[in-house]
Amino acid sequence: MSNRLVPYAGALLLLQGLAACSGENSTANQVMPPAAEVNVSRQAAPAADTRLVVAFGDSLYAGYGVLPQQSFPAQLEAALKARGIAVTVRNAGVSGDTTAAGRRRLAFTLDGLDRKPDLVLVNLGGNDMLRGIDPEETQANLTAICEELKRRGIPIFLTGMIAAPNLGSDYARRFNAIYGDLAKRYDAGLYPFFLDGVVTDRTLMLPDRIHPNPRGIDRIVAKVAPQVAGVLEGA
């Protein structure tokens, strides 16, 4: 793990410990608790001159433990509108999703939209890491997701994760490289670590120490929104 990632070691060790205690067959439900799946096709169609962004991920997008209007997609939409961008951000986060689960539902999610998105944000891999899934499998699933988005001509923005240090240096090296490699390969936007500056601050996390609270989400949005705005404005 690089020196830049060292401050997250303790928090990630805690996350790994919680995952280990949950049992093999229920890890995802314990680490990223289930939430009602969002049927993005049921939401009102955005106006023709409004950008459509889809936040496709796990509970960190779904908004576990917070009100719907406090979730990352909702707050990202508000921040982008405050910058003068006409945009709708659809919440396509499903708690507990691994990259394999996301890969299986991607086409269904996209086909259920009223039109092609202007951008898809992808945040998957955290549950893979907490389960100790081989990074090669994680990368293969994320590659398939990016390939499908590329095939449909949809720009990609990745928000990444980093590996818990007790998974070992080899695992961390292979896992942590995934998001940067994919960003280069698919010319995607990249925010390397979704919980950057948040996971180490108890005041910004829910009591489970896994998910950000509303203040933590605001902190993340403040960093991510300018980058997403740049992608939308440059499109």
Burial 49-65 (b: 16+ CB within 10 A, else e): eebbbbbbbbbbbbbbb
Q: Which residues lie closer than 8 Å to 179 by C-beta, 6 or more apart?
A: 125, 142, 158, 160, 161, 190, 192
The pLDDT, as a whole number, for residue 218 is 98
Q: Which residues lie closer than 8 Å to 207 by C-beta, 6 or more apart?
A: none
Other CB atoms within 10 Å distance of the CB of residue 180 = 13
CA quadruple 139, 101, 30, 69: dihedral sign: positive
Residue 182 and residue 118: Cα distance in Å, rounded? 19
The pLDDT, as a whole number, for residue 212 is 98
Write out the E strands in 160-233: 189-191
Place of tokens 């459509």: 52
Quick: pLDDT tens for 121-140.
999 999 999 999 999 999 99
Residue 219 and residue 103: Cα distance in Å, rounded? 28
Ordered by where they begin, the domains of the chain are 3-234 (3.40.50.1110)
The pLDDT, as a whole number, for residue 44 is 58
The pLDDT, as a whole number, for residue 49 is 82
The pLDDT, as a whole number, for residue 234 is 87
- Pair 33, 96: CB distance under 8 Å: yes
The pLDDT, as a whole number, for residue 12 is 58
Q: Give every residue of the chain whose pLDDT is below 70, as ranges.
A: 1-48, 235
Positions annotated as catalytic residues are: 59, 208, 211
Residue 190 and residue 185: Cα distance in Å, rounded? 12
The pLDDT, as a whole number, for residue 11 is 54
The pLDDT, as a whole number, for residue 17 is 39
- Considering the entire predicted model, what is its pTM? 0.84
CA quadruple 165, 193, 78, 42: dihedral sign: negative
Closest CA to 113 of 53, 198, 162, 65: 53
- Do strands 119-123 and 189-191 pair parallel, antiparallel, or not at all (unpaired)? unpaired
